[in-house]
């Protein structure tokens, strides 16, 4: 069997894995990243680049080159609830220049980051390479077994990082089981043209028992529909016409463009999960990103929190990897730092799901709002506007890239 030796083996070429590989290689640590696909091209992957990530790219000297790539920028997020527009989030409240949300296809972001990482001689990206299990020496993980186009190989590493998502192969091979939190929704993703006279940028329309997402992607919407979990097949049986009718009942500006949705093949199902590990590590192993905590699409923070995990990991482990062994205590310190912000955000997400999952006969907001609801909005909306830019744009504990270690 072919054998590759490295300091760190990262399984998974998503935002967490590629960012961690970049940061460790930048510090001089030899790192191998495994990505099971031949490219990064996937439909409807998270493509939000939050202000905290823009700040990080600035710290790394990559911000301007990154923003030269095709992308769109959003400074406000509005919600329309039963016809009432709520100006909920204004990222202009954050310090400039990182006072907006950037939308970029995730494959472009990953290609950019992997290209920058490849400039460091200690970075090695193995595409079309799937982890199949872990290597062990007693209780310690010492790397992974894998397959590529040439057959089987093994990667021997002092540290293995599982960044291979919510169905992590590496996590499963070590017996780590995430705790699941009940989420009663799934999301259907699809693309729609923008209306000839588009409304102000609107993240979501809520009404008539439906929640419709409209993410402005310049010349089109990346659109979504929140549905009760397990209801996709029933919707398919009812037909695409009925589905379009439900979209336009909640999001009236889509009435002129929803006809572009003609076939269920245009619709992708995302099974929404909220879960997290109670323990993120074993000797020689660390789980980060979705492998440690699956976030729901609420607030679009999944990519951001995965990247923050990567930054915290590199900050804590680059020096130990360069100068000696990594202890399980050091691995535990990363969980100790990242678990509280993850837990806080997941709590907010679950509360949002409970609110939007209300039955149609008990809407969050009447149309028109009652006097009591108007009073509540007048009280709550200013509080949301004050807190949301930081909570959504930067998160509960944004991480900063540590200065490079010099021995």
pLDDT tens-digit profile of 234-290? 999 999 999 999 999 889 999 989 999 999 999 999 888 899 999 999 999 999 999
147, 4 in Cβ contact below 8 A?
A: no
Token representation of residue 405: 């270690």
pTM listed for this prediction: 0.90
Token representation of residue 307: 């990247």
Would the pLDDT of 16 be above 70? yes
C-alpha to C-alpha distance for 19 and 9, rounded to whole angstroms? 13
- Residue-level length of the chain: 407
* Average confidence score pLDDT of the chain: 88
C-alpha to C-alpha distance for 95 and 394, rounded to whole angstroms? 11
Would the pLDDT of 366 be above 70? no
DSSP 152-177: EEEEEEEEEEE-S-TT-HHHHHTT--
Q: Which tens digits make up the pLDDT trace of 144-200?
A: 999 999 999 999 999 999 999 989 999 999 999 999 988 878 889 999 999 988 888
DSSP 271-297: ---EEE-S--EETTEEE-GGGTEEPPS
Question: Which 3 state secondary structure label does DSSP give 104?
Answer: coil
311, 16 in Cβ contact below 8 A?
A: no
C-alpha to C-alpha distance for 243 and 127, rounded to whole angstroms? 38
Cis peptide before 368 (omega within 30 of 0): yes
């Amino acid at each position: 069997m072919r054998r590759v030796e490295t300091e760190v083996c990262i399984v998974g070429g998503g935002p967490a894995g590629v960012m961690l590989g970049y940061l460790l290689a930048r510090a001089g640590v030899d790192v191998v990243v495994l990505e099971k696909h031949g490219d990064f091209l996937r439909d409807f992957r998270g493509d939000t680049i939050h202000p905290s990530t823009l700040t990080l790219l600035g710290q790394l000297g990559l911000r301007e080159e990154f923003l030269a790539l095709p992308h769109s920028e959003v400074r406000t997020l509005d919600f329309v609830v039963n016809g009432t527009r709520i100006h909920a989030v204004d990222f202009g409240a954050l310090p400039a220049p990182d006072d907006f949300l950037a939308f970029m296809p995730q494959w472009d972001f990953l290609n950019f980051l992997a290209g920058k990482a490849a400039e460091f001689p200690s970075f090695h990206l193995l595409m079309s390479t799937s982890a199949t299990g872990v290597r062990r020496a007693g209780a310690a993980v010492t790397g992974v077994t894998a397959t590529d186009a040439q057959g089987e190989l093994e990667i021997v590493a002092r540290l293995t990082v599982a960044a291979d998502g919510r169905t992590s192969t590496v996590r499963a091979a070590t017996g780590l089981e995430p705790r699941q939190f009940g989420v009663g929704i799934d999301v259907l993703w699809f693309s729609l043209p923008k209306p000839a006279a588009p409304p102000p940028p609107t993240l979501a329309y809520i009404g008539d028992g439906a929640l419709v997402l409209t993410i402005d992607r310049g010349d089109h919407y990346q659109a979504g529909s929140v549905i009760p979990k397990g209801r996709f097949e029933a919707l398919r049986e009812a037909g695409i016409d009925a589905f379009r009718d439900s979209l336009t009942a909640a999001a009236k500006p889509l009435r002129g463009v929803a006809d572009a949705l003609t076939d269920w093949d245009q619709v992708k199902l995302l099974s929404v999960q909220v879960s997290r590990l109670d323990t993120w590590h074993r000797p020689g192993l660390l789980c980060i990103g979705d492998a440690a905590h699956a976030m729901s699409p609420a607030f679009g923070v999944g990519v951001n929190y995965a990247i923050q995990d990567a930054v915290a990991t590199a900050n804590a482990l680059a020096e130990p990897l360069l100068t000696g062994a990594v202890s399980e205590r050091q691995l535990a310190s990363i969980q100790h730092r990242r678990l509280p912000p993850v837990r806080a955000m997941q709590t907010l997400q679950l509360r949002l799901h409970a609110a939007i999952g209300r039955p149609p006969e008990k809407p969050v907001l009447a149309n028109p709002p009652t006097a009591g609801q108007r009073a509540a909005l007048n009280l709550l909306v200013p509080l949301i506007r004050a807190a949301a830019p930081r909570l959504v744009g930067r998160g509960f504990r944004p991480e900063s890239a540590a200065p490079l270690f010099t021995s």
